[in-house]
Amino acid sequence: MTAVHPLTDGELTLRLSRQDQQVVSFDVEHGKPLGTVEVRRTTPGVGLVVWELDGGPEVAQRAVRLVSEFAFAELELERLQVEVDPAIHASARVAIRSGFRREGVLRGAALVEGERRDVAVYGMRVDDPRPDTVTGWTALMDSTLPKKRVIAHVIVRDTTGRVLLCQVSYKNDLELPGGVVEPDEDPAGGASREMHEELGVALPLLGVLAIDWLPRWEGWGDAVEILYDGGVHDPGLLDTLQPDGFEIRGISWHSPDALDGLVSPLNARRLPLILAAPSQLHNLSNGSPITS
């Protein structure tokens, strides 16, 4: 075993107890033995950090920080990983406060006493900002916070009060032009991009007509949807648009009082409301007005 000086933060002490090609393990002491923390090599340049300690989350956090810096500096690993049961919140807090960002959940990846359990994966790269820096801490918090989907659709009207709807290739319901906003894309930019991709033209956006919250539905997570005003146009606008032929197979004008059976129940609820009062901002929840 290569000689390794004890690791310490001034109070906690980690003494090397095992070192081979697969595992580097330390006994943890704070006046008395508290357990072990170790790094298990999984693939080249990558290690899994595992601990079994008494003394609570603070002791585990300090031990994991010490062994992580050792793994990067002395073992020359480029990435470390922690895997915990999502139901064990104390272990998740140890991972986060030790500098590991939440990266996702492996559904049913662990078999515990005959039961399939999820595994939450936390990762840290050697070049990640550490948790005692502002950027490091905010990146850690960002990795744990909810990521809500944002949808941007455009309501385009003609001079007779009809709304422009698209026949899409992936469902029977007619749909508004627009779609999901990409990461780091502002919603208005996403609406314009989707319109250009689908119709060949990005009409000017004149403002926001409605903001709607959508609950979970048929496998989709909940989302926030922004419905933009695409303006009022001559019915001949359709002749200038160029549906992409893949996602959008056709476009047509439809009267707000004739949408039942053509659009989703969500759009059947909200589109007549919005089209009847296009000068106001509609605050909606699942297509219905929010009431105090």
How many angstroms separate the first and last alpha carbons of the chain?
69
Average pLDDT for 67-78? 96
Average pLDDT for 50-73? 95
Question: Comparing C-alpha atoms, which of 249, 202, 205 is closest to residue 226?
Answer: 205
Q: Where are the beta strands (DSSP E) in 20-162?
A: 23-29, 33-43, 46-53, 79-84, 101-112, 115-125, 149-158
**Predicted confidence band of residue 211 (pLDDT cuts 50, 70, 90):** very high
Give pLDDT, residue 280.
94
Residue 248 has pLDDT above 70, yes or no: yes
The residue whose two tokens read 């959940």 is 105
As a CATH number, domain 149-289 is 3.90.79.10
Share of the chain above pLDDT 70, in %: 99
**Predicted confidence band of residue 37 (pLDDT cuts 50, 70, 90):** very high
Predicted confidence (pLDDT) per residue in 250-264, tens digit: 999 999 999 999 999
Give pLDDT, residue 53.
95
Predicted confidence (pLDDT) per residue in 89-106, tens digit: 999 999 999 999 999 999
Predicted confidence (pLDDT) per residue in 130-178, tens digit: 999 999 999 999 999 998 999 999 999 999 999 999 999 989 999 999 9
Distance between CA atoms of 23 and 31, rounded to whole angstroms?
25
Q: What is the pTM of this model?
A: 0.84
| Mean pLDDT, rounded, of the chain | 95
Can you tell me whether residue 30 is helix, strand or coil? coil
Please state the domain extents for the chain: 7-144, 149-289
Cβ neighbours of residue 241 closer than 8 Å, sequence gap 6 or more: 199, 200, 201, 251
Residue 1 has pLDDT above 60, yes or no: no
Q: In the CATH hierarchy, which fold is given to the domain comprising 7-144?
A: Aminopeptidase (3.40.630)
**Predicted confidence band of residue 283 (pLDDT cuts 50, 70, 90):** very high
Backbone angles phi and psi of 274, in degrees to 5: -70, -45
